[in-house]
Structure 1
Amino acid sequence: MGSTVFTAWQDRRMWKDLIRGLYEDAEFASAASDMAVDRIEGRLGQAVPDELRDLLRHTDGVLAEWGSGLVWSVEEIVDQNIRFRHDPEFAELYMSFDQLMFFGDNGGGDQFAYVRLPSGQNTGVYMWDHETDDRKWVAGSLTDYVQRRAVAEGDDWYK
Structure 2
Amino acid sequence: MAAYLNFRLPRNRPAASLFSAHPGAVSVRRSAELQRLAEKEHYRTRMNWRKLITGIYESRHQQPGIAGKPEFHPGTSAASIADAEAALNSAMPASLRSLLLETNGVMDMMAIDGGDWFESMWLLWKIEEVVEQNRFFRTAHEEGKYERDFSHLVFFAGARTDGILFAFPVVDGVCDSRVVVWHPIMDELDDLAPSLEEFLRGWLTSTISV
Check whether TM > 0.5: yes
* Mapped pair 1:137 → 2:137: no
Partner of 1:4: none
Unaligned residue ranges in structure 2 (runs of 5+): 1-42, 58-67, 111-119
What is the aligned length?
A: 148
Larger fraction in strand: 2
TM-score (norm 1): 0.82
Unaligned residue ranges in structure 1 (runs of 5+): 1-7
Partner of 2:52: 18
Partner of 2:76: 32
**How large is the Cα RMSD of the aligned pairs?**
2.5
- What is the distance in 2 between the residues matched to 1:106 and 1:90? 25
State the secondary structure of the residue aligned to 2:168.
strand
Kindly indicate whether the alpha-carbon contact (under 8 Å) linking 1:127 and 1:158 is maintained by their aligned counterparts in 2. Answer: no
Post-superposition CA distance 1:103-123 (Å, at most 9, x none): 011122211000011283625
* Mapped pair 1:44 → 2:88: yes
* Mapped pair 1:80 → 2:99: no
Match of 1:107 among 144, 148, 160: 160
Higher CA-based Rg? 2
Change (3 A) 1:115 1:121: closer
- What is the distance in 2 between the residues matched to 1:90 and 1:146? 33
Change (3 A) 1:65 1:128: farther
Task: State the 4+ residue runs in structure 1 displaced beyond 6 angstroms.
Answer: none
Kindly indicate whether the alpha-carbon contact (under 8 Å) linking 1:69 and 1:106 is maintained by their aligned counterparts in 2. Answer: no
Partner of 2:121: 68
* Mapped pair 1:150 → 2:201: no
TM-score (norm 2): 0.63
Kindly indicate whether the alpha-carbon contact (under 8 Å) linking 2:92 and 2:175 is maintained by their aligned counterparts in 1. Answer: no
Change (3 A) 1:121 1:97: closer
- What is the distance in 1 between the residues matched to 2:95 and 2:177? 12
- What is the distance in 2 between the residues matched to 1:36 and 1:121? 17
